[in-house]
Amino acid sequence: MTKKVLIVSRRQIRKNKPINWVSEIYATILCARGIMPVFVPIAETTKTVLQEYLFDYDGLMMVEGGDVNPQLYGDNYDNPEELDLIKDDIETACFKHAYARDKAILGFCRGLHIINVMLGGTLHHDVHEYNNNLVKHIDYEHYDEHRHCITIIPNTPLHSWYNQNEIKVNSYHHQGIKELGKGLVAMATANDGLIEAVYAPEKKFLVGLQFHPERMLAEYQGNQQVFDSFINAL
C-alpha cells in the first residue's frame, strides 16, 4: 500500500477569495519517494470530515504558515502576524491524533512551534526582542539567501543526518521556542541560544526543525536524510 502523509494547507486571500495552498516542494519530495501527500484543507467545515482524513494515514508533516495563536501557550500577546484559528484547530487535532498513535511527525518552522506548544512548551512572540538582534532569524531584504549558523548537538538524529557540528541554515521565522515542551530534546542551537531543532527520543519519529531543509536541498546531503529518515519511519 502506498504510504500517505497528511499536510494541512494554508489559507490566503487571492483575487478577493480565500484559497488554500501548500508549497509544491513537499509534494515533489514525497512523490519522488513514492509517498502520497494528502492535503487537508482549511475551511469552516473541514472539522466535519477530519476523522476521515485521520482514519487512514501514515505520517504527518507540518509545514510553513503564520503565527501560532499565543493563547495556545497561555500568552496574551495581542499583535501576532497572520493568525489562522481554523488552521491552528485542524493542525493541533492532527498532531494530537498522530502523537497518541506514535505516527511519524515532521515539522518545519511553524510545525516545530506547534509540536512544542502541544507538548506544553512556550514561544517567544518575536525572537528579535529576546536576542537583541544578535542573530537575524528573518531577513526580508535577502529572504531566500539569508543563512545563520547553528551548532548541532552530538548523538542526536540531526547530527547523524548532517554529520557536522555546525551548518548554515535558512531562517524565515520571528516566533521561536522559549520553554521546551515535555519529552523534547534540543538537537541544535543558534548563536543566540535559540533552539533550532528538536526530537522526542521516546517516539518512533517526532522531529521539528526551525529551518527549511527543503528550500536548501543542494547545500547539504543531510537535507535529504531528514526526509529519508521520516519516510523510513512511516
List residues near Mn ion by CB under 5 A: 137, 171
- Grid cell listed for 156: 542526536
Known catalytic membership, residue 212? yes
217-223: long-range contacts (C-beta < 8 A, 24 or more apart)?
219/168, 220/162, 220/164, 220/167, 221/162, 222/158, 222/161, 222/162, 222/163, 222/164, 222/167
Q: Least distance (Å) from Mn ion to the CB of residue 173?
A: 6
Residue nearer to Mn ion on the CB measure, 113 or 137:
137
Instruction: Write out the H or E segment, with its range, that includes residue 231.
Output: helix 222-232
- Beta-ladder partners of 199: 185, 207
Q: Which of 113, 137, 148, 214 is catalytic?
A: 214
Q: Given 91, 94, 97, 109, which residue is catalytic?
A: 109
Which residue matches cell numbers 508533516?
61
Residue type, 166: E
Catalytic residue check, 109: yes
Residue 97 annotated to the active site: no
Residue 61 beta carbon to Mn ion: minimum distance, rounded to whole angstroms: 19
> Closer CB to Mn ion, residue 87 or residue 212?
212
From the CB of 211, what's the least distance to Mn ion, in Å?
6
Indicate the residue among 177 and 233 with the shorter CB distance to Mn ion.
177
| Cell 495552498 belongs to residue | 21
Residue with cell 512572540: 125
**Residues 233 and 205 sit within 8 Å (Cβ to Cβ):** yes
* Residue number with CB closer to Mn ion (69 or 171): 171
Nearest distance in Å: CB 210, Mn ion: 5
Q: Report, as residue numbers or ranges, the catalytic residues.
A: 109, 212, 214
